[in-house]
Chains A and B, each alone.
Chain A
Amino acid sequence: MISRLSSRRRLAEPAQPSLLLLPSDSTSPPDFLPCLAVLLPSLSISSVLPAPAQPFLLPSLSPSFLALSLRSSLLTAQPFLFLSLSPSAHSSRAPSYSRHSSQQLPYSVVAPHINKEAAMTTMLRELRLSLNQTQRVRLQSALQSLQEMSSLASTITVVADTIPVNHEDSILKGHGTSDLNGEVVATLCGVVERINKLVYVRAQRARYKPEVGDIIVGRVIEIAPKRWRLEINFSQDAVLMLSSMNLPDGIQRRRTAVDELNMRSIFEENDVICAEVRGFQHDGSLHLQARSQKYGKLERGMLLTVPAYLVKRRKQHLHHLQQYGIDLILGCNGFIWVGEHVNSHGENDSAANRENREDAVNKTGELQVIQEVQEPERTTPLEVRQHICRVANSVRLLSALGFNLTVEFIIDTVEASISSNTDIKDMLAAEFYVQTAEREVQRRVSLSRKH
């Protein structure tokens, strides 16, 4: 069933199941291992991931699937196999309405009704934490109060909900909708948006949707003629042209063949780079530029990956936290860089790095055993490193809880951990987890009281 995975396709994030499809005569039992879940954007197999069991309540379905679901709900500890379809999110920028309206889904559509209890238990099971009873109760109550406070709860549609539409008007069915027996039906879980005659469903948890001017963090995976290819947690790799990058000597000039041969001295494979989206190529992949001093190679730190929808677009994405002496870059694609502060991506830094790299190559010859690398003169001091670890752990914690990542929130969490004397490694433990959820509840309650 599963075709080979192309190495360029990334593992999709475990998005909420958007549509459950089964062949109408499916009798595959859910209790075999390994179990696989396949995400099919635009009806093409792209990635594979496991999923925890989700006890669905299914209103009306084929008997084989009912049996399947009942068994899965009884054997709740088992990994469950489900097929999920999201005809959308990242395929093409301009929505092609005709394609959707004429799409004939080959399988019978079943409608999982995902109730809040099920979602809560799934989330708790997805956490790799063992909570004791009191912690579980506290966390559940905190999550429930957060859900109640969120204003979007009333406008969310679930898969196979009918979208109320005035049939006399000519309606354009956009992404996330489908025509079923003359009714406009949602195929995604999300919010219904209406713009003039266009009706579409915007998924809450979608893949990264790039826009021009986004600041992103990427990793170089290939050096191609006159360009670098970066991996950016998107369905396709982004391209950074040599002409969109400042040369090390800083002079603005035409790139020659010698420059092309020396590309590796600017960025190598596996380097982490901060850049800005310049535009789109014809096939939908991104074009980047890194001309400013604030963009460029990132060193002396670590890269974290969070779901892209947790990073909202703000005015500023490159933050310099002065009280800790660290740089925090919130890439819109979900790559977060936390590292020691670098004054400028100027000549001094790049010269020193080039020296270190040459030393390493000379010392070890061909086999680059990393232990023989000369220690750079400036190792990260312990205090800065502790702050980096604290910020990184708070980012991991907030992304596990599903909160939007903003600098203020991250700093708040770090301050709370310092003031409560939590050890850095205990920030990922159950107690601090529950405390953070409760703190956020209190913050939102106090905010709503002010208004």
Chain B
Amino acid sequence: MVGLSLGEKQFIHGGIAQDLRTDGRKRLHYRPISIETGVIPQANGSARVRLGATDVIVSIKAELGKPSSLQPDKGKVSIFVDCSPTAAPMFEGRGGEELSSELSVALQRCLLGGKSGAGAGIDPSSLVIVEGKVCWDLYIDGLVVSSDGNLLDALGAAIKVALSNTGIPKVTVILGPSPNDQPDVDLSDEEFLQFDTTGVPVIVTLTKVGRHYIADATLEEESQMSSAMSVSLNRHGHICGLTKRGAAGLDPSVVLDMISVAQHVGEQLMSMLDSEIAAAEAAATQEQ
């Protein structure tokens, strides 16, 4: 990340204060989002989301596994993000680990809900095959190919799109003679189950620069932030997760204000993503 001179920083601050950012956007306006699905054919589902110059790829793989003994009626979902060295030279080797773990934790908090599984965007009880014995393990892997700010929003959108593209093979279970035996499972190659992604939340990150909030900050604007808050909202406008980053403290009234602004922005983002997903699905079925 290149540093900015004092004059450039003042220019950015002045622009945000006057509601005209460096690329002409208003404060709460997102960059054009472009979505591609099915970029990784070997995975069960995949998506590539481009938000300006930010480029992320998410792949979802489903494997058969055993449910945990504490929650025998639920499958397992794990989210992990990797920052590729192509995004920035400092991500080479272990340099990107801090950012990767921060993003992974934030995504887990936003999408997976609490320990009991309540409030999760992806319902883990839909992943169980035989209670206590066989379940689906969903591995969601994100890769940051190019970073120009606002990685969390891009990854959240990519996960939502990838889930819509995911096909879990249909399973026929052949129970063994005694109930303690491990049942045989037969994976069908033809039929697939799709996820319903209207319930999956989107993540809206609001970056506080000076006295104003901006949505979808570029890398330069993010370097000027005092604090940022990422709110994960579902279709009904409910908050599924909250993450605050940044060194500066926030007054509680400011936090509540940011949440309400995020709700307003999140509605538009959600509807735009839903329409893009529908368009991508239509294109995919047309090709078939």
Contact = CB atoms under 8 A, between A and B. Distances in A.
A146 B217 CA distance: 36
Contact of B4 (A49, A270, A382, A393): A270
Interface stretch (A98-106, A279-287, A294-302): A294-302
A31 B42 contact: yes
A425 B24 contact: yes
Contacts of B248: 369, 371
Bin the interface of chain A by size: 35 or more
Nearest to B19: A382
Given A369-B226, A379-B14, A380-B14, A299 B7 contact: yes
Interface in B69-93: 84-86, 89, 92-93
Interface in B21-53: 21-26, 29, 32, 34-36, 38-42, 48, 50, 52-53
Interface of A: 2, 4-5, 7, 11, 31, 33-34, 36, 48-50, 75, 77-79, 128-130, 219, 231, 268-272, 297-303, 339, 353, 356-357, 369-371, 373, 376, 379-380, 382, 385-386, 389-390, 392-393, 396, 423-425, 427-430
A75 B41 contact: yes
* The 3 nearest A-B residue pairs measured at CB: A299-B7, A424-B24, A270-B3
Contact of B18 (A301, A382, A392): A382
Interface residues of B, number: 52
A34 B2 contact: no
Nearest to A304: B22
Nearest to A6: B89
Interface centre among B8, B13, B35, B226 (most CB of A within 10 A): B8
Interface in B139-197: 143, 145-146
B259 to A, nearest CB: 21
Contacts of A370: 9, 13, 224
B150 to A, nearest CB: 14
A5 B226 contact: no
Contacts of B243: none
Contacts, number: 141
14 contacts: A5-B89, A34-B85, A36-B86, A50-B86, A78-B40, A130-B32, A270-B3, A271-B5, A302-B8, A357-B6, A370-B224, A371-B210, A389-B23, A425-B25
A139 to B, nearest CB: 15
B40 to A, nearest CB: 7
A219 B145 contact: no
B118 interface: no
Contacts of A129: 32, 34
Interface of B: 2-15, 17-18, 20-26, 29, 32, 34-36, 38-42, 48, 50, 52-53, 55, 57, 84-86, 89, 92-93, 143, 145-146, 210, 224, 226, 248
B89 A11 contact: yes
A268 B89 contact: no
Given A50-B145, A270-B4, A272-B5, A382 B20 contact: yes
B24 A77 contact: no
A34 B84 contact: yes
Contacts of B52: 128
Contacts of A392: 22-23
Nearest to B148: A128
A48 B85 CA distance: 8
Interface centre among B6, B22, B34 (most CB of A within 10 A): B6
Contacts of B224: 370
Contacts of A268: 5-6
A234 B92 CA distance: 22
